[in-house]
Amino acid sequence: MTNTLLRGRVLTFHREPARPDDSDAYSYIEDGAVLMRDGLIAASGNYQDVAVDAGDAEIVDHRPYLLMAGFIDPHIHFPQVQIVASWGSQLLDWLNGYTFPAEAEYANAQHARSMAGRFCNLLADHGTTTAVAFCSVHAASTEALFSEAEDRNMRMIAGKTMMDRNAPDAVLDTAQSGYDDSKALIERWHGTGRALCAITPRFAITSTPEQLEMTGALAGEHPECYIQTHLSENHDEIAFTAKLYPDARDYLDVYEGYGLLGPRTLLGHAIHLKDREIGALADSGAHPVFCPTSNLFLGSGLFDDAGLRAKSIQSGIATDIGAGTSYSMLQTLNEGYKILQLQDQKLHTLRAFHWITRGNADVLGLVDKIGTLDAGTEADIVVVNARATPAMDVRMDRAESLSDELFVVQMMGDDRAIAQTYIAGVAQKRDMS
């Protein structure tokens, strides 16, 4: 039995803070501790109370750093690790110029496994302990990512991208092979260790009606799986979709018509929505996913967080690597804050940190397993240093509250602010200097 006691300042959320002063939504303990036992959190709370039950646990003193739940990234593209920050154009040109050529390389299982290791290292270095990932069209890429995550006991949700038109032959499947490969991956990986599967049609443009029909059949056979795709990221994308599916009422209706909407559906971007689409999202319980660095990089548009929240729609927030420009959920919050500012919407820092921990866990229906420091949940924990850089250190001299500190981290932090990352109780960062 492996026991480790982490000592530091502890922050965990019980619900989304309604206001910046909503202190009932979270617990903050100055001299706190988290006891990790066999990959789970055995206890958290005041150091003196938790230490009583720690027995012969190894004590790791992270004071004065902050301990919180590991970050969760609900929309990221594993095969795009080598095209991050490629000279930009808008969405459809970017896919053809960069994405599809890079993803074609993942037919090579050795390349896929090599990149999977680097991908998971980058996630952990930035404090991300759970990701929802698009793999390439090749089943080998999904096998590689799940195998790498299994080696680390890392919670990974992933799926083989399905697309059978409007892309180069090297990254196309067929309606039948997409179904067959995805079903085999579900049977092999869903629920194996910490792996979960997502049925993954890239978007309506790259799937024929036949493929979406078989995707809907697969989703009906496996309601335990997630569904991930893209929605209304770009005006040209929306117009092209309308031409390909002239009988659909709107973009979302394409997915709705094939039975792909529900509480386990994750829809990347969802920027340019019609009123009917917003109503259908609210009725179905499907989740838009805000991807701020990607939306800015490709010039896609501004996500209407307040408008969706007003309809009780629960959105995730994510990096969208590789159109997204940073693996850091902190930088994701930074740019998300600015996008909302442009619309006179506010993202106060306590809600921001709830969003990338418990909030994203709730979107995934996994709040009983990840996203908090509650006893019995999985021991995915980040250690945050608000003075990680000289600029942050100078700024922190004026911080007077927990909210001040968190806002410094939100706006100025990146992987350097992550002093350590624990996945299932095991330290991941190779260089803590």
Amino acid occupying residue 414 = D
Which of 38, 68, 9, 17 is closest to 418 using CA atoms? 68
Domains 3-70+371-427 and 71-363 share a fold: no
Mean pLDDT of 152-179: 97
Residue 273 is predicted with a pLDDT of 98
Predicted local distance difference test score (pLDDT) of residue 85:
85
Confidence of residue 97 (pLDDT cuts 50, 70, 90): confident
- Mean local confidence (pLDDT), 25-30: 98
CB 232 within 8 A of CB 273: yes
| Predicted pLDDT of residue 96 | 81
Contact present, 66 and 383 (Cβ < 8 Å): yes
**What is the distance between the alpha carbons of residues 424 and 284, in angstroms, rounded to a whole number?**
33
CATH classification for the domain delimited by 3-70+371-427, as one of 3.30.2130.10, 2.60.40.10, 2.40.128.110, 2.30.40.10: 2.30.40.10
CATH of domain 71-363: 3.20.20.140
Give the amino acid at 433. S
Res. 73: pLDDT tops 90: yes
Domain boundary assignment for the chain: 3-70+371-427, 71-363
Residue-wise pLDDT tens digits, 265-274:
999 999 999 9
pLDDT exceeds 90 at position 432: no
Mean pLDDT value across residues 97-108: 91
Cis, bond preceding 64 (omega within 30 deg of 0):
yes
pLDDT of residue 187: 98
pLDDT value at 433 more than 50: no
Please enumerate in sequence order all residues whose Cβ is within 8 A of that of 419, keeping only pairs 6 or more positions apart, or say none. Answer: 62, 65, 383, 384, 385, 388, 429, 432
Amino acid at 54: A
Mean pLDDT score, 340-345: 98
- pLDDT confidence tier of residue 1, bands split at 50, 70 and 90: low
Q: Are 344 and 57 in contact (CB under 8 A)?
A: no
Summarize the confidence of residues 237-262 as an average pLDDT: 98
pLDDT tens profile 384-413: 999 999 999 999 999 999 999 999 999 999
What pTM, to 2 d.p., does this model score? 0.97
Where residue 431 falls among pLDDT bands split at 50, 70, 90?
Answer: low
Contact present, 314 and 362 (Cβ < 8 Å): yes
Work out the angle between the directed axes of helices 209-221 and 175-189 (0-180°, nearest 10): 20
Neighbours of 84 (CB within 10 A): 19
Enumerate the β-bridge partners of residue 84: none
What is the structure's pLDDT at 91?
72
Average pLDDT, the chain: 96
Question: What are the angstrom distances between the C-alpha of 309 and each of 242, 278, 305, 422?
Answer: 27, 10, 6, 32
pLDDT above 60 (res 313)? yes
